[in-house]
Structure 1
Amino acid sequence: MEYELTILSQAMSEAGREALRLASAGFETFTKADQSPVTSADLAVNRILQDRLSTAFPEDGWLSEETTDNDTRLSRKRVWIVDPIDGTRSFVRGLPEFCLSVALVENGVPTVAAIFNPATGEFFSAIRGRGLRVERLSDSDQPGFTSSERPVALVNPWELRVGRFEGLQDHLHCRPIGSIAYALALVAAGQADAAITLAGGNEWDVAAGVLLVEESGGRATTAAGHPVTFNRPDPRLPGTLAVGSDLPAPVRTRLMQHGLAAASHPL
């Protein structure tokens, strides 16, 4: 799997440079049918990743937020699951809380994963069974995420605004962040203690982050605490909960209780 990770790293580095170039030169923004934004940068990054990975691994399947889905992937043993830019709203606003997120999934289980924040240069990667790797792919002077308040859970900004984390803030600090993939990478790296979303999501949002968290010694599940499997016919997911390996047991238990209760009473 080192070869797969090498090709993936090269592709993500190239795609990340293109995202930053467009962030500086200008890009178009569109609204998708679900009212979420997509930019010409999302599409350009998707093209680069698909071209590089599909050329290197032509027998593998493909599932991406920015590629029309079809059921061909369901018959493939290996599938690349891709979010070209997770945190598009942050990208549009010029905030360094977006990332490229890619996982190679085999028989429903992530085996290779990488998350790259081009704005900060942070590159988080893992091969199943070989631990987490954190490095920098650029000399960006943009600092990465830090929090002086610990323990800290990274949460969806909208969910925080509407009060979905009431009852948790006596136990840990809830800090909004614009990308669940980046949040999972930060938990894996020990820069945050937990990440939680309650309003659902899709496989491409979390496939890479789940492996990163697991390889760091943490735990990643659905919000209700169930294992996450990938390359399913319907890629939608019922929320995500990730906890780092150093989170105190009482706080971990409270988070799991909150996720389970929220999953039982969706908005």
Structure 2
Amino acid sequence: MGHPEIFQKELETAFGALRQASKLSQLIIASQDKGTITKDDFSPVTIADFAIQALLICTFKDAFPEDTFVGEEDAADLRANEALMSRVWDLLNTIAQDEDTQKGACKLPQTKDQMCDLIDQAGTSHSGGAGTGRVWVFDPIDGTKTYLRGELYAINIGLIVDGKQTLGVVGCPNLSLNHKGPLRNSDIDPEGKGCIVYAIKGHGAFARSLHDGSQDAVQLPKQSATQELSFVTCIGLVDSALDGVHEVVAERLGVSFPGSDLVPWVLRWAAMALGIGNTTVWVYKRRDRFAKSWDHSGAMLLFEETGGKITDVHGKDIDLSAGRKLSANFGFVAAPVAVHDKVLKAVHDVLKEQGRDAFLQ
């Protein structure tokens, strides 16, 4: 079953761009030197992050010149480091003569300066609320830590209209569409095909092959009110979670922990849409720690369109208009609609019993 005949241009633009972005990212995985630098928050960024953001913005700006863009990176490091800028430029040009690029699957910047300008167009902006129109949010590589290890990662494209999720298209270059059971960071697609998971607000979520354009998309089934809860979380490589809470919540709910153990948030939302898991809880270790827009905007829609409900730890809807960081919300609680209240109550009960009431204020 295919998706409805709406957002056709947006989806085709996203599919083509993801196909080419995937090729760029896989080229870097195959090389010894990933061109890694460390940002102020100590998270790693590679030349692939910069190249893919430039590719995405160039492609979508050409297709939708009136829209605005949000992306994780800015070009300050590139402008300050000629060698790094040249490596990003060279990486982009590896696909310039690619058959898909020549056929218009993506657009590439014409000069290094234009490349930096394009990256900067998204490096400080954010999606606002009512009246702000169409804003594309990009995460060029979500899960850089796992990406650098040759493990699972994702590329996120979200369309936010007046502060609301309208379209989410996630490329998973090394995730099998047919994976069953709990998912780990190391569970890469043995056939190397990858997949795209996408959703249209009010019309459902779908999955398709990343590279096989002839394969029809399949609509993903809705969450069942009677199915068992299955956790998706992260217990390794990331230290932003409040210790001693998540496994206790799972135990309270009678759910095995960790279930699926994944670093990239975008991939967690995609996995939940695919039915690999259906519940996630995330309480940050500090009350002033907030999620980043590009890790969630658009990607959350995948799970919501399969019948999932997502709030923060306080039970509030996620406000994507707050800025580059989702500073109006604290953490996440997500589960099938029918059991969300039960999961939220378990989180509150555990925090209160542990004397951590401050995280509920």
TM-score exceeds 0.5: yes
Retained in 2: the 8 A contact 1:184–1:195? no
Call closer, same or farther: CA 1:72–1:183 in 2, change over 3 Å: closer
- Name the residue aligned to 1:179: 264
Give distance in 2, aligned partners of 1:241 and 1:257: 14
Call closer, same or farther: CA 1:23–1:99 in 2, change over 3 Å: same
- Please give the per-residue CA displacement for 1:86-128, whole angstroms capped at 9, x wherever unaligned: 11100011112x1001100000001111111101212110111
1:203 is aligned to 2:293: yes
Retained in 1: the 8 A contact 2:132–2:163? no
Give distance in 2, aligned partners of 1:61 and 1:257: 42
Secondary structure of the residue aligned to 1:220 is strand
Unpaired runs of at least 5, structure 2: 1-6, 75-119, 176-193, 213-227, 285-289
Give distance in 2, aligned partners of 1:181 and 1:102: 10
Which of 216, 221, 230 lines up with 2:320 in the alignment?
230
Per-residue deviation, 1:244 = 3.3
Alignment of 1:125-164 (within 5 A): 125-138=198-211, 151-157=229-235, 158=239, 162-164=243-245
Give distance in 1, aligned partners of 2:356 and 2:168: 29
Which of 12, 19, 29 lines up with 2:36 in the alignment?
29
Question: Is the deviation greater in 26-35 or in 253-262?
Answer: 253-262
After TM superposition, the score normalised by the length of structure 1 is 0.84
Per-residue deviation, 1:159 = 5.3
1:110 is aligned to 2:165: yes
- Please give the per-residue CA displacement for 1:164-208, whole angstroms capped at 9, x wherever unaligned: 314213122232311111101111221102123222311111112
When the two structures are aligned, how many residues end up with a matched partner?
Answer: 255
Q: Which amino acid aligns with 1:173?
A: S
Retained in 1: the 8 A contact 2:167–2:199? yes
After TM superposition, the score normalised by the length of structure 2 is 0.64
- Name the residue aligned to 2:246: 165
Q: Which amino acid aligns with 2:271?
A: L
- Name the residue aligned to 1:18: 24
Secondary structure of the residue aligned to 2:151 is coil
Call closer, same or farther: CA 1:48–1:262 in 2, change over 3 Å: farther
Unpaired runs of at least 5, structure 1: 140-149
**What is the RMSD of the two structures over their aligned residues, measured on CA atoms?**
2.7
* Higher share of residues assigned strand: 1
- Name the residue aligned to 1:50: 57
Retained in 1: the 8 A contact 2:159–2:165? yes
Call closer, same or farther: CA 1:196–1:262 in 2, change over 3 Å: farther
- Name the residue aligned to 2:147: 91
Retained in 2: the 8 A contact 1:104–1:112? yes
Per-residue deviation, 1:161 = 8.6
1:239 is aligned to 2:331: yes
Secondary structure of the residue aligned to 1:152 is coil
Retained in 1: the 8 A contact 2:334–2:340? no
Give distance in 1, aligned partners of 2:340 and 2:132: 40
